[in-house]
Amino acid sequence: MKAAKFDYEVPASLDEALASLAENGGKIVSGGQSMGPMLNMRLATPDLLIDLRRLPELTGYSQDGGKLVIGAAVTHAQIEDGALPDATRGMMASVASNIAYRPVRTRGTIGGSLCHADPAADWPSALTALGATLVIAGKGATRRIGIDDFMLGAFATALNEGEVLIAVEVPVLSDAARWGYYKFCRKTGEFAEAICGVVFDPAGNIRRVVLGALGGAPKRLSALENRLGDGPPGDDEIAAAIDALGIAFEPAQRVMHNTAVKRAMQQAFGS
């Protein structure tokens, strides 16, 4: 389990990184918490690794009107520790605090997690529930994309060659907003067996219920979203909403997903 040979670059600026990426190709790394094992197991064998962890453009944050803009190389630990303003009424800090283990959170980054696009990871589901927008830089142009359109499947995203995810825009939730996030893991720090994220903010018109830890990208449960104003749904409604996805679950998986939705709803709306 030793990585194959690769070159390693630490660009000083985003422009330098984009130029290098355009010229040499290569694979991007920031926290390395997924890339490290993939390199060692030779699941990834890039010729060049471009390390974005120290780029000033990616490690900061800013508040812009109704949204918080989080640099893609901000770590889970920074979010957990409240180093950023709390735009989501505690939701992001709570989600961050349950990602893997603290050593992973110290290095792992929000952008890295999104780009790795592991279906069982937290950020793809949690940020889908928040309706985040992603800021993507290419050589000469920057584009913005809704998170619903970003993750295409397991370990697949809408990033084009030469592009870098540079920031995540999260809406600032109103005082009236309610959220729930429930994940079930076989042991502390493991990837999830089932995830549900719920965000309801009538003021910002956010109504999202997201089922994660599926075979691919997280799915929105639209039947439940439409009735969020009416409080927690019944078991039958939850089951019907999951049925509507048309995914063939094993029976036990099915129970876990039902429970995740029920508990996220309970957390959001009280029992």
Partner 1 sequence: MSDSGIGARVKRKEDERHLHGRGRFVSDILLPNMHDVAFLRSPLAHGRIRGIEIPDDLKSRVYTAGDLDGVEPIRAVATVPGFKASDYPPLATGKVRYAGEAMAMCVAKTRAEAEDMVDLVRPDIEELPAVCDIDAAVQPGSALVHDDWGDNLFLDTVVGGDMGDLEKTAPVIVEREYKMARQAMNPMEGKAVLAHWDDTASQLVVYTSTQVPHAIRSGLSMCLGLPEAKIRVIAPDVGGGFGYKCVLQPEEICVAWLAMKRRHPVRWIEDRREHLTAGANTREHYYKIKAYADERGKLLGLDATVTISVGAYSVWPFTAVIEAGQAGGNLPGPYVFDKYRCRTVSVATNKPPFTPYRGVARPGVCFAMDLTIDAVAREVGREPHEVRAENLVQPEQMPFTNITNKYYDSGDFPAGVHEAVEKIDVAAVRKRQKAGEPDGRLIGLGFATYVEQTAHGRPVFGAWGIAVVPGYENASVKLTADGGLEIRVGVQSHGQGMETTLAQIASSELGIPIDRISVIHGDTGTTPFSTGTYASRGIVMAGGAVATACRELIPRMAPIAAHFLQCKAGEVRLEDGMMKGPSGEVPLADIGRAWYLRPDQLPEKVNEGGLEVVMGYKPGIETGVFGYATHAALVAVDPALGSVEILDYVIVEDCGTLINPMVVEGQTYGGAAQGIGTALYEEMPYSPQGQPLASTLADYILPGPTEVPRIRIYHTETPSPHTSHGQKGVGEGGAIAPQAAIGNAINDALKPLGAEVGEAPMTPHRILDAISAARTKATAQ
Query: Which parts of this chain interact with partner 1 (CB under 8 A)?
Result: 1-5, 37, 41-42, 184, 186-191, 193, 250-253, 255-256, 258-259, 262
Q: CB of 95: closest distance to partner 1 in angstroms?
A: 18
Residue 59 or 106 having the CB closest to partner 1: 106
For residue 224, give Cα distances in angstroms to 170, 199, 244.
22, 11, 11
Burial of 251 per CB tally in 10 Å (0-12, 13-18, 19+) = exposed
Burial of 107 per CB tally in 10 Å (0-12, 13-18, 19+) = middle
Helix, strand, coil shares of the chain as percentages rounded to 5? 35, 25, 40
Helices (H) and strands (E) in the chain, counts: 11, 14
Residue 188 or 205 having the CB closest to partner 1: 188
Beta-carbon contacts of residue 49 (< 8 Å; ≥ 6 apart)? 6, 7, 8, 9, 26, 27, 28, 29, 35, 39
Q: CB of 182: closest distance to partner 1 in angstroms?
A: 10
Q: CB of 252: closest distance to partner 1 in angstroms?
A: 4
- Angle, helices 251-269/235-243, rounded to nearest 10 degrees: 120
Q: CB of 236: closest distance to partner 1 in angstroms?
A: 15
Residue 5 or 229 having the CB closest to partner 1: 5
Residue 160 or 187 having the CB closest to partner 1: 187
Residue 40 or 174 having the CB closest to partner 1: 40
Dihedral angle over CA of 77, 79, 81, 83, nearest 10: 120
Residue 175 or 186 having the CB closest to partner 1: 186
Please list the residues that pair with 106 across neighbouring strands.
none
